[in-house]
Structure 1
Amino acid sequence: MNSADLGRRVGVPSTALFTDQYELTMVQAALKAGTASRRSVFEAFTRRLPEGRRYGVVAGTGRVLDAVENFHFDDEMIGFLRQQRIVDEPTLQWLADYRFSGDIWGYPEGEVYFPGSPVLRVEGSFAECVLLETVILSILNHDSAIAAAASRMSAAAGGRRLIEMGARRTHELSAVASARAAYVGGFDATSDLAAGFRYGIPTVGTSAHAFTLLHDTERDAFRAQVDSLGRGTTLLVDTYDVAEAVRAAVEIAGPELGAVRIDSGDLLLVAHRVRQQLDELGATGTKIVVTSDLDEYAIASLAAAPVDAYGVGTQLVTGSGHPTCSMVYKLVARAGSAEPDARLVPVAKKSLGAKASKGGRKWAARRVDEHGVAEAEVVGTGAVPEELAGRELLVELVRGGEVVAREPLEAARERHVAARAGLPLSAMQLSRGEPVIGTEYA
């Protein structure tokens, strides 16, 4: 069973109240005005990347599809809206029958994006599309932020194993979404069992300092763990004296000891000392795992250390300083009337400053140089130029209200590896800088 099947098997409750009140009041007013059924096009995009980021990572698409599929108002929800007098009775009747029947196109999950990229395009009646704004942005902003942090950490790790272990540092539901997004961004495993159950992500975990402190001696704790979990387990060696713990670990588990974990101190120095000691004791195959408030900068600083895997928590699940991508969901085109064949008219906010947006139903393509390396994100509203044909980025996700693009999580993970490899090498730099390629409007 693949991860997509697992997600459907677990099931997702109704997402209809994961929204802001003004979405519903807009629907009420539009229904009364006779404009609710006008064909409309909304797009999700960001005007800028978080400071210092060179590229963004699309994550959460699969969760968006679940949210759209499960966006409906049951009797209890309708009763709540009625009791609270959120909207009037005609609107409640309309909501009771609501099912999204439009189309959705978007960048496939795992793809990279840049300022102005139309990451998601939602088409249908105004009323049915506007209701989805909050839940779509909630998912994309969170998951894409985590995936971007994960991608930077993955690049810094240089192929070494990465373990997501931030469940205790965020909301319990955010923890599951974070583990999923981290997997898309390049992490290899999670400590969170709910994420493993829902999405099929590999899970890992052995023991904490509490387990060592429970026993009369550190040796007793190691012996109990090895007896229960086998010689291939990972022993935590920094509860007391690291050198003594490593010696005891190898004596008890033998050279077949799977790994040792270091969770404190000068990780660079301690890792070198532990590697030397393990090799001297004959445990040349025993791996070293480091944890302790790591981020991409700390991981990069350990590139020369004999470390085999990193466990990352707080900084990952908070987006390493950027917990949102600041994506917005804007109406970019709408029909001039409620007639089915009415022509779409581009619309855009004309506010002062950086909040102005570009109207029109957009396509996007990535122009590459003669070596196949990306050199520009091209966004347009007319016909796709011949030289960009076949390089369009948006794919069909929902057609007539039916999801048409479910895929295993592994596909998104592999896509990200390929997308990141297609960027200029400077994209991997951790120093502050502008987006690695510019956005051009055709």
Structure 2
Amino acid sequence: MSTFRPALLTDHYELTMVGAALQDGTADRRCVFEVFSRRLPAGRRYGVVAGTGRLIEMIRDFRFDPSEIDFLRRTGVVDERAARWLADYRFTGDIDGYAEGELFFPGSPILTVSGTFAECVVLETLVLSVLNHDSAVAAAAARMVTAARGRALIEMGSRRAHEEAAVAAARAAYLAGFRFTSNLAAGQRYGIPTAGTAAHAFTLLHDDERAAFASQVATLGKDTTLLVDTYDIAQGIRNAIAVAGPELRAVRIDSGDLAVIAQQSRELLDSLGATETKIVVSGDLDEYAIAALAAEPVDMYGAGTAVVTGSGAPTAGLVYKLVEVEGRPVVKRSEHKATIGGHKVAVRRHKPTGTATEEVIVPQGVPDRQPNDRLLQHSYVVAGEPAPLPTLEESREHLRQCLISIPWEGLKLSVGDPAVPVTVVPAS
């Protein structure tokens, strides 16, 4: 689905490392890389794994065609030995990871890539590009869904993002619980319900507001949403009901003090007999603005810029680190960037009631399983062959259940500790 084939969606140094490893004979050493976050973005109590389905599909298609290899050779990125290796590249290793829609915390090994050094290291940039973006959007969107308290949300941020990032963001927001997107490509690719009616430009096109509303209703019927804040909101609502009648589905307000305006609009709609007409609000909404409207008569929220940019945290802070070579744990000891060596597995502990209490990360093959533990990793690729993936709807439901399982304090928007503590048992 990308503008470019996935093989060149990478960094220069990934291929120079391959070239050097081929030269010195270390390229075929069996290695394990892990994707994890050292810390959550400021103010966040959980992360959301998103983008895994997209990533596995891209890894399946990760190939270097002759024109790409010629470019790499001509520009001196690779030598002849590396060029021949790239021409035959196929990922033949294993990929395990947390389910898409799973929550993660600092240190959670959300993706484990095993294989030769060379075949694993060339995937680093692609893996982080996809997971950092989609997980950031999904985490922000999940917080908005919580703040909305069951009211519907529509993702409408395409005009605030790169064209392909917009499609990925729509998918991540839907995974997190948004009900609609305005992005038609996301609707076609992923089956996400799309929604939208008209912008202010359509009202300004016509000689007056009533003419614009009449045109929209004549085309779309009364089961539509009329944008009423181009001129005067109160008069816009009167015009909308005068044209469509009290059967109008909804009005949308995109500016002003939304808390006050929502109350006034509800009162006006009711006085006009439009007691079933819904109120949709939009305009630079984030999770905090949505939470502030919890007591107001709002029926649906439209979120754009905040959701597609991760609401202030545009990356999930994920890293891709080598943790094992030929079965031997390896450790990076850099100050503030240390790693914990060895291939690991993780379980989430729960009370009998289903509330999560702890995440435990242990060396591979040594899971200290207890009653009500849930193993977090699943197989995505086995010996180079992709395993069946859950549907987007299944991942969406998985996240919903995960959010139900964490202690209620973990859903707060205020600064605090991660929703679930993490215990890491190092390799001996």
Give secondary structure in 1 for the equivalent of 2:166.
Answer: helix
Structure-2 residue corresponding to 1:406 = 389
1:185 paired with 2:168, answer no
Distance 1:173 1:12 in 2: 8
Structure 2 portions without partners, runs of 5+? none
The normalised TM-score by structure 1 is 0.94
Bigger mean CA deviation after superposition, 273-282 or 201-210: 273-282
Match of 2:360 in 1: 378
Where 1:265 maps in the other structure, the secondary structure is: coil
Provide the rounded CA distance (Å) in 2 between the counterparts of 1:375 and 1:211.
52
Q: Is the 8 A contact 1:78 1:96 kept in 2?
A: yes
**Which residue of 395, 405, 428 corresponds with 1:422?**
405
Query: What letter corresponds to residue 348 of structure 1 in structure 2?
Result: V
User: How many Å separate the matches in 2 of 1:120 and 1:12?
Assistant: 25
Q: Which moved more, 1:251-260 or 1:385-394?
A: 385-394
Q: State the alpha-carbon separation in 1 of the partners of residues 401 and 389 from structure 2.
A: 19
1:370 offset after TM fit, Å?
3.7
Partner SS for 1:386: coil
1:91 aligns with 2:73: no
Q: Deviations over 1:96-133 (max 9, x none)?
A: 01011111000000010000000000011111000000
Identify if the C-alpha distance between structure 1 residues 388 and 13 changes in structure 2 by more than 3 Å, giving closer, same or farther.
farther
Question: Is 1:367–1:391's contact at 8 Å kept on the other side of the alignment?
Answer: yes
Q: Deviations over 1:183-233 (max 9, x none)?
A: 111111100111111111110010001100000010000000000111111
Give the Cα–Cα distance (whole angstroms) in 2 for the partners of residues 145 and 224 of structure 1. 40
* Alpha-carbon distance, 1:405 to partner: 2.8
Aligned length: 424
Paired residue for 2:98?
107
CA distance in 2, matches of 1:282, 1:328: 56
Q: Is the 8 A contact 2:351 2:372 kept in 1?
A: no
2:379 maps to a residue whose letter is E
Counterpart of 2:21 in structure 1 is 30
TM-score by length of 2: 0.97
Query: Partner residue of 1:6?
Result: none
The answer to whether residue 75 in structure 2 is matched with residue 75 in structure 1 is: no
Verify the 8 A CA contact 2:352 2:372 in the aligned structure 1: no
Alpha-carbon spacing, 1:12–1:389, altered in 2? closer, same or farther (3 Å): farther
- Comparing 139-148 with 250-259, greater Cα deviation is found at 250-259
Q: Specify which of 342, 345, 352 is matched with residue 360 of structure 1.
A: 342
The aligned runs of 1:92-171 (5 Å cut-off) are 92-171=83-162
Contact 2:333 2:339 in 1 (8 A): yes
1:439 has 2:427 as partner: no
In 1, the alpha carbon distance for the partners of 2:78 and 2:61 equals 21
Q: How does 1:1-400 map to 2 (within 5 A)?
A: 14-335=5-326, 344-352=327-335, 354-382=336-364, 383-387=366-370, 391-400=374-383
Question: For residues 204 and 368 of structure 1, what CA distance do their matches in structure 2 show?
Answer: 39
Distance in 2 of aligned mates of 1:388 and 1:91: 50
Q: Secondary structure at the match of 1:127?
A: helix
Secondary structure in 2 matching 1:31: helix
Question: In 1, are the aligned partners of 2:349 and 2:372 still within 8 Å (CA)?
Answer: no
Q: Percent identity?
A: 58
Calculate the aligned-residue CA RMSD, in Å.
1.2
Cα distance change, pair 437–303 in 1 and its aligned pair in 2 (3 A):
same
Check the 8 A contact 1:179/1:195 in 2, yes or no. Answer: yes
Q: How far apart, in 1, do the equivalents of 2:56 and 2:342 lie? A: 24
| Alignment-mate amino acid for residue 359 of structure 1 | G
8 Å Cα contact 1:145-1:324 kept in structure 2? yes
Q: Quick check: 1:52–1:432 contact (8 Å CA) kept in 2?
A: yes
Return structure 1 stretches of 4+ with deviation > 6 angstroms: none
Contact 2:51 2:134 (8 Å CA) reproduced: yes
Whole-Å separation in 2 of the counterparts to 1:268 and 1:49: 31
SS in 2 for 1:250: helix
The answer (yes or no) to whether the contact 2:37–2:106 under 8 Å persists in 1 is: yes
Residue 339 of structure 1 is matched in structure 2 by none
Q: 1:31 to 1:289 in 2, by over 3 A?
A: same
Question: Are the aligned partners of 1:362 and 1:380 in contact in 2 as well (CA < 8 Å)?
Answer: yes
Given residue 356 of structure 1, which amino acid in structure 2 is its aligned partner?
A
1:12 CA drift (Å): 8.3
Runs of at least 5 residues in structure 1 that lack an aligned partner in the other structure: 1-9, 336-343
Deviation at residue 175 of structure 1 after TM alignment: 0.5
Contact 2:349/2:373 (8 A) holds in 1? no
